[in-house]
Amino acid sequence: MKIVKVTKNHKSEFNVPLIANTGEIVEGQERETEWDGWLWCRNNSGVHAWVPKAYLESTPESGHYQFLQDYNARELTVDEGQEVIILNEESGWAWVRTPLGDEGWIPLENLQDLKDKPDSIPDIMK
How large a percentage of the chain has pLDDT more than 70?
Answer: 90
- Alpha-carbon gap, residue 10 to 77, rounded angstroms: 5
CATH number, residue 80: 2.30.30.40
Q: Is the pTM of this model over 0.95?
A: no
- Alpha-carbon gap, residue 74 to 47, rounded angstroms: 12
The answer as to whether 61 is a domain residue is yes
Residue 117 pLDDT greater than 60, yes or no: no
Rounded to the nearest angstrom, the gap between the alpha carbon of residue 90 and the centroid of all alpha carbons in its chain is: 7
- The mean per-residue pLDDT over the stretch 65-88 comes to 96
* 45 and 7 assigned to the same domain: no
Domain of residue 101: give its range. 2-12+75-116
Element (H, E) at 46: none
